[in-house]
Amino acid sequence: MTAAEKTLQGLYPGQTGIILSVGNQSGAVKRRLVDMGLTPGTAVTVKRIAPFGDPIEVRLRGYELSLRRDDAAQIVLGDLPPRRRDKISSRISYDTRRPDPETLRRMRYARAAERGVRAAAYESDRDDGSRTIALVGNPNSGKTTLYNALTGSSQSVGNWPGVTVEKKEGAAKLGGGEIRIIDLPGVYSLSPYSMEEIVTRDCILGTADSGRPDAVINIVDATNIERNLYLTVQLLELERPMVLALNFMDEARKNGDTIDTARLAEALGVPVVPISAKTGENIDALLRAADRQTRRGYTLEPDGLYDGMTRDILGRIGRLVRQPAEAAGIPVHWAAVKLLEGDNVVLETLDPDGDARAAIEDLADEYAASGPGDRETLIADSRYRYIEKTVRDAVRKGPARRAETVTDRIDKIVTHRILAAPVFLLLMLVMFALTFGPPGKTLSDGVAFIIGNFSGWLRTALAGMGTAPWLISLLTDGVIAGVGGVLNFLPQIALLFFCLSLLEDSGYMARAAFITDRLLRRFGLSGKAFIPMLMGFGCSVPAVMGARTMESDKDRKMTIMLVPFMSCSAKLPVYGLLSAAFFGAWAGIVVFSLYLLGMAMAVASGIFFRRTIFAGEPAPFVMELPPYRLPTLGNALVHVWDRVKSFLVRAGTLIFLMSVVLWFLRNFNGRLQLVADSADGILAGIGAFIAPVFRPMGFGVWQASVALLTGLIAKEAVVASLSMLYGFSLTAGGLAVASAMTGFTPLAAYAYLVFILLYIPCVAAVSTICREMNSLKWTALSAAWQLFVAYVTSMAVYQIGRLFGL
């Protein structure tokens, strides 16, 4: 590095530099940086530094990106030497010559024939019956909102990376038929950087189980078109039928932007439809255009995307791998592009012979020597230069872009060096105050009153009809007490999810990851782990799946093992019951302390893991910071209903069956005889056997022990079990519940809550962990660690509390 050169790390907020080269010890990190637009000649401005000193936020190509200072230190800034400028100019001179439409049409026909495709098929009207269309786009581009608009589905949406981590399928109506729609995870490129990118690429290529889609709808954020088009040109390299959907057109117009869709369509060679997935603008037109594209069979990449030399190199590589590529069902041209980039996944899939491998490497070396940087950077640079020219021709930015945005003003507060942490804690405290304070408690008491009155009415009505006492007891003391005890807390769960939905939709989640990255790195994770961990406050199942966005296997496994420490919403009924019974007006503070304790245990576990089984360098942190968007009531209600529906299904199935089984075990002995005292039942015997294990924690009674066992099925079942086993009424006040739970003191009740917070998650979460880990050994280790931490922490809380006379 010369004296005139410096690195991105050396810039202060507000300073701008020109990228000279991108280097990184990790090839995967370098690939991501290049894919995100950090190519030679790109202007980049440092906007701010995270409150704890790392990472930094930069602006380039019209959007904000965060990356760590260590990675920024490997990005060299300065003026490109004249020799390199000349080299770059000569490489892109071909791009500036745009043929007329008729010449362009003949060129595409000729290229189609050259690649072994019948030119007549380009305009054919094939109709193979039902068709499949895949939705592909960058994170935060509105894919899931569009999927909901097309299919009438109600998938959760959010303004942060990683909302969709697996493909979803639905059907859209068109005319008298249906079109299968696949919503794929958001990706920035088709390079194998993370699991969701592999899922998306395999689906488009047709190597996934779902088969190859007939066409692709590429969703592009119209407010951030330059960076979004990088994925577009990669999709065009696949030469699949495609339509470009320009989403957020309402916001683009508000910013004063003007987009010439006809010129954009001509440049890219595919239809371009301006839409707003949120308002439904042009959704039908988009679906019709996609349907027409399915009949074309394929498209061709734009002329001018690559210069003459690049095309020559790609053609020579294509001839070397044509046979294995066709045998694998992979487009020959795309395979050549990926091999020139150095994509090892494609190389191993095609597995060319030794001579062909050597020839490919020689061609790649020849290509790399033709310009500044390595072959991967040169390919990305060619794509971005073509995109820059296309955007210059088709897009005019409005004057609103030059002013300070709403996002800038909000970020000055929520990412402020001093205010960031207090703002985050205040948001969490407000959320829990609404959930467990007067609003949530009032609604919960109302549900309890309705269920209690219904139980009393049913008992009286059944007795008046001469129903057998055991059946009355089964329905009222078993089913209604169990299921109703869980439904009692449904309003609080809905409130919690409503608050989380507002945070997700607004774009705050990405800022929280930006703020916490430095802290999470201390125990070996990146700030991206914060998103699935925060999702864990809602439900552990999607949170565990959200760890797919982690780039390395080590970080993904570690994140999965830490997610269960985040208190899921299924534990809320237990918190609400015991905190109201034993802590009265302090219930909200007690519950808030449990959430903080869960996060503290995750931190402590992470530090332990980093020094033992997950030792090594922390994961990289390269993440887009999307603009803030006003949450919509519709999206929030969809998100709440999605979780409430899941809760109701569990209450009507698992909790119902558990209540019946518990009632039977409680009221019958080993000889299957009805007992008058539940202490003589089968359940009491089971509980008495395991209760001594919990005596050091202050709740060594059989009822509490049995309730913990049922919590392994579903955490809500703990409330159903306690209400049934202790026999307290749903309409009873806190003091009545506390007096019914003999053997419990406030200290023991808190220790019990701590154990429930930390011990093994429900069966659904454990099965998801097993699936995502793809290992019984790792799943068993995760469960054993949870149980160990829960036991030690709960015992410490009780024993230390006794020392202080609590």
Residues placed in the known binding site: 137-144, 148-149, 151-152, 162-166, 183-186, 247-250
Helical spans, DSSP H, in 437-570: 438-464, 469-473, 481-487, 490-506, 508-521, 530-535, 540-546, 553-562
Tokens 């509105």: give the residue. 142
Give binding residues for Mg(2+) as ranges: 148-149, 151-152
In the structure encoding, which two tokens stand for residue 234, read together? 């990669």
- For residue 398, CA distances in Å to 223, 224, 253, 264 come to 11, 13, 8, 18
Amino acid at 380: A
Length of the chain: 806
Beta strands in 311-458 (DSSP E): 395-396
Gap between the Cα atoms of 499 and 789, Å rounded: 29
Gap between the Cα atoms of 360 and 339, Å rounded: 8
Gap between the Cα atoms of 9 and 70, Å rounded: 8
What count of Cα atoms within 13 Å lies in the side-chain half-sphere of residue 793? 24
Give binding residues for GTP as ranges: 137-144, 162-166, 183-186, 247-250
Sign of the torsion angle spanned by Cα atoms 745, 746, 749, 754? negative
Least Cα distance to 333 among 364, 358, 310 occurs for: 310
Amino acid at 685: G
Contacts of residue 135, defined as CB under 8 A and 6 or more positions apart, other chains included, come to: 143, 146, 147, 181, 182, 183, 184, 216, 217, 219
Gap between the Cα atoms of 489 and 580, Å rounded: 12
List, as one string, the DSSP characters of 56-104.
EEEEETTEEEEE-HHHHTTEEESPPPHHHHHHHHHHHGGGG-PPPHHHH
Could you tell me if 341 and 237 are in contact, meaning their C-beta atoms sit under 8 angstroms apart? no
Q: Is the peptide bond before 139 cis (omega within 30 degrees of 0)?
A: no
Gap between the Cα atoms of 794 and 123, Å rounded: 70
Least Cα distance to 572 among 633, 644, 475 occurs for: 644
Gap between the Cα atoms of 247 and 142, Å rounded: 7
R_g over Cα of the chain: 30
* Residues 264-292 as b or e (16 or more Cβ within 10 Å = b): bbbbbbbbbbbbbbbeebbbeebbbbbbe
